[in-house]
Amino acid sequence: MLSSNPRTTREPDPALLPIPTHVAIIMDGNGRWARQRGLPRVMGHRKGAEAVRTTVTACGELGIKYLTLYAFSSENWKRPRDEVDDLMGLLRHYLRNELNRLNKNNVRLRCIGRRDRLPRDIVDLIEESEAKTRDNTGLTLILALSYGAHAEIVEAARTIAEKAASGEIRPEDVDEKLFSSHLQTADFPDPDIIIRTSGEQRLSNFLLWQAAYAELLFLDDYWPDFTKEKLLAAIDNYRSRERRYGARSG
């Protein structure tokens, strides 16, 4: 029997539902977007860079506190040399040309991943951008560059093992909280939602530890076609879900 009490039957006001604190995106489909249009792959990457700007701006306007973008994976180094060079060139362009915009919009930039594999001038640009935006208090934009979750987890385990061997910590001290504190994302909350574009339905070595309780959303759209409206639709999808973290629903 349906209850006559409106408090138990009324749908919640969507405007009052929480927005995610941390959105993470696997930006996939640049090459296929270009191929469908008979364009070189680099044009897809360039169009994808425009989608990055749109998404960063939209997240700041919505009050999202953290946005992680999977910009270049550790596996991407296996791509043809000319494509890697194009991607590095776009990254240089972004870091050189977006710094003032990020500062103006109170965005803090952070990067995770293997910097030792990146060209030295790009590392310098990353360090400069991080330093100049360090005190910004709006959106934190986290670029995953030369990043792989397996390597991140192995490195954390190695560091903890070295500390245990030296007596700095005891084996019984190792728990999930301590392990998380040794990951590159230790300063950030885990993502609430991970979005992947292009129709693929896998995480591809992205934030595997941190994704344990993230909501996953796979979109058919290619990344260059990702818009503010599609971000808003993804957030509405997130709001419609019940996050139980392994517990039973009410």
The full set of domains in the chain, from first to last, is: 19-148+190-239 (3.40.1180.10)
Q: Cβ contacts of residue 206 below 8 Å, gap of 6+?
A: 24, 26, 70, 73, 144, 147, 149, 194
Asked about 105 being catalytic, the answer comes back as no
**What's the pLDDT score for residue 242?**
77
Q: List per-block mean pLDDT (blocks of 10 residues) for the chain, which spans 250 residues.
A: 37 62 97 96 95 97 97 94 93 93 96 96 97 97 98 98 96 96 98 97 98 97 97 95 66
| Catalytic-labelled residue, pool 13, 28, 121, 190 | 28
**What's the pLDDT score for residue 153?**
98
CB 126 within 8 A of CB 142: no
Is residue 84 within a helix (H) or strand (E), and if so which, with residue range?
A: helix 81-104
| Catalytic-labelled residue, pool 76, 103, 205, 237 | 76
**What's the pLDDT score for residue 3?**
34
Asked about 76 being catalytic, the answer comes back as yes
**What's the pLDDT score for residue 11?**
44
Give the closest residue to 207 by CA, choosing from 215, 199, 243. 215
Angle between helices 41-62 and 228-239 in degrees, nearest 10: 60
